[in-house]
Amino acid sequence: MSANRVYHTWLKRIQQIRPQERITRLRTFAWLVAGILSSRSVHLSRIAGKMSGAATSVSKARKLSRFLDNGAIRVREWYEPIARALIAAVVNQGLEVRLLADGTKISFGHQLLMVAIAYRRRAIPLAWTWVRGSRGHSSALKQQALLSYIHQLIPPGSRVLIVGDNEFSFRPLRCCLILLSVSCLLLKMTVACPLDNSGRVVLHAFVEGGVP
């Protein structure tokens, strides 16, 4: 599919999601998506090379950079309808919502804390946040805030399982998951706390490591 076709497809979709947004922002966002998909790169210079128009690639890259730096662009507000749709696609099939929580070092001074949904053998991001510092775990407050946001995206009554490595191993976080009525399976840990989204705790279903 050509970059122009992807652009028009995404522009139509994003107009439905953000009907009150400025058209200039929507167009820039649509080109950003089309450029990423067409160039298979996240480098702005390569993305700009896929954009149509008489402007130079340098000018197009600067336009994308200004869009990404725009403080008026609230990432979660723009992405939330997509995240809800992804979760709904799983729930409507009667499947368990399997969340993957992970922390990854991105640069010398930053870590990316992300929660994704497992769907058709892929991990699709639902929400993420940045953590300053390249060593150690993110704080329990950061983790709780991220998971609390994810929780409000999930329809009531859904069966939920969250899987995380030892980045999500703090005791306060496990308590948070129990309060949110979310099943938790902390890999590399000795405790897993299966619950359903209605708040019923299955106390006998404890496992040690791995997926039960």
Over the stretch 115-149, which tens digit does the pLDDT of each residue have? Answer: 999 888 888 999 998 877 656 556 667 777 888 88
**Candidate from 31-40, 67-76, 169-178 with smallest mean pLDDT:** 169-178
Quote the domain boundaries for residue 43: 3-73
The CA distance from 185 to 174, in Å, is 10
Give the CATH number for residue 143: 3.30.420
How many domains, in total, are found in the chain?
Answer: 2
On whether both 25 and 47 belong to a single domain, the answer is: yes
pLDDT of residue 201: 30
The CA distance from 73 to 92, in Å, is 30
| Burial class of 9 by CB neighbour count within 10 A (0 to 12, 13 to 18, 19+) | middle
| Phi and psi angles of residue 152, each rounded to the nearest 5 degrees, phi first | -75, -10
On whether both 11 and 104 belong to a single domain, the answer is: no
Q: What's the rounded mean pLDDT across residues 177-189?
A: 46
Q: Which of 73, 104, 120 finishes a domain?
A: 73
Query: What does each C-alpha distance from 21 to 49, 178, 183 come to in angstroms?
Result: 26, 38, 37
On whether both 9 and 54 belong to a single domain, the answer is: yes
pLDDT band at 209 (very low <50, low <70, confident <90, very high): very low
Q: What's the rounded mean pLDDT across residues 183-190?
A: 40
pLDDT band at 173 (very low <50, low <70, confident <90, very high): low
Neighbours of 95 (CB within 10 A): 13
pLDDT of residue 96: 85
pLDDT of residue 199: 38
Q: Tell me the pLDDT tens digit for each residue of 4-43.
A: 999 999 999 999 999 999 999 999 999 999 999 999 999 9
Largest CA distance in the chain: 66
pLDDT band at 101 (very low <50, low <70, confident <90, very high): confident
Q: Tell me the pLDDT tens digit for each residue of 147-167.
A: 888 888 988 878 888 877 666
Residue where the block lists tokens 């995206």 = 153
Q: What's the rounded mean pLDDT across residues 184-210?
A: 35
pLDDT band at 177 (very low <50, low <70, confident <90, very high): low
- Residue 9 DSSP SS3: helix
